[in-house]
Structures are given as C-alpha cells and as structure tokens.
A and B are shown apart, each in its own frame.
Chain A
C-alpha cells in the first residue's frame, strides 16, 4: 500500500493543533516519535509553550512479560502539572496502552485540568476506551503490520511499514 507523505500529515497536524494552544496549555511528547513531532511543532508556534517529554517504560503493562526496554530515556516534566491543559503528542495511535501508561505517569506529577491527545496517524485497533482528539490521518492496519515514524538527518519525517513481530 502507498503511505501518505509524513511531512504533509505533519503540516495538517500543526494546523489542527495551533488553534487549541492557550496560555494554560502544556505540550508533552512521548518518546521517541512524539518527542520529534513536538520539537518541530514548538519551533512553528508563535509563542513559547510549556512542554516536556515522557518515556513510559516504567508504566507499561507488559513489563512482566517483556521486561524493561533496553533504552529508557528520562521523562522530563519540569513544569507544574497541576491545573494545566495537557496536550499529549505521539506518532502512531494503536492499542491505547502507551497513552494509558503516559496518563498514569502524568498523574504522578500532579492533577492536570485536562489531557487531550494528538497523533500523526491513527491506525485503528484500540483495546482501551482511549482515542485521539486530533489525528492527521486514519490508516487502518492489520496487527501483522507495524507503522513507524522515522526522522532523517535533516529532521524530515517519513512513515515506514514493517512486519510486526507478533
């Protein structure tokens, strides 16, 4: 199948996010793809926006079966989460389990006013009552396929489809 151009999707994502950013907004990218998207997004916004990053390794629900990811990154939430409107950013939305883990982690920093979710691609297949408020594309994919965001040396995005090791 032909995948859409990731750069075009990113522009569309930025257009959808921009009107929602208020002074109470904090943007939080999820490692790794979500952080890449957030970094580019921040450079395109008119004002400085409070932001942070999450690595949900310590909150995943498959720790018992898969162990700790070999490359964990520190989560960096340097702002006061209490009463913030948090906009979570991730590259691909699938089962919703990563987002559950991210929400659990956020609540250990404080009680946000709200949390919403923006993703580049919603590939369908959610297993929890969680769904993105914003997605630049909906591309239904079977479980045997794995959709990944990639970033080249110039910071440009591409999407790549791989066989998933199910």
Chain B
C-alpha cells in the first residue's frame, strides 16, 4: 500500500508523487502547492482525529484526512 498524506504520522515527512482526485479537487490541491516532489510534513492531527495540519512550501495548511488520502507519497522519512 502506498503511503498518502492522510496516513502520515505526526512529525513524519513525505514527498508528493501523484494526486488521484476528481479534477476540481486535484486542481485545488495543486494550487495549494502539492506538486510532484514537494516535501510534506505532518504537523498535527486535530483533537478529534481529523482534520490534519501539514507543512509544505514553508507554510501550514489544514485539510481533511479524506483529502490527504488523494495525495500519494513517494518516500517518507
């Protein structure tokens, strides 16, 4: 199973590979900077387990785990 942004554990970093999502959502995720090769770090999970806060391109962004699942990662540290 490939690792996705949604399945990162806190503190873990991964590199974006592909985004498999409906056109509009994919477009929006990419607009926010999730392009191939970008490092994404899981910063925090909301108190109730969802959504998540990630760091990419020097800023912090919140998204739901379900959206994070659309973004698969190449490698994780």
Chains A and B come from one and the same complex: no
A residues lining the B interface (CB < 8 Å): none
B residues lining the A interface (CB < 8 Å): none
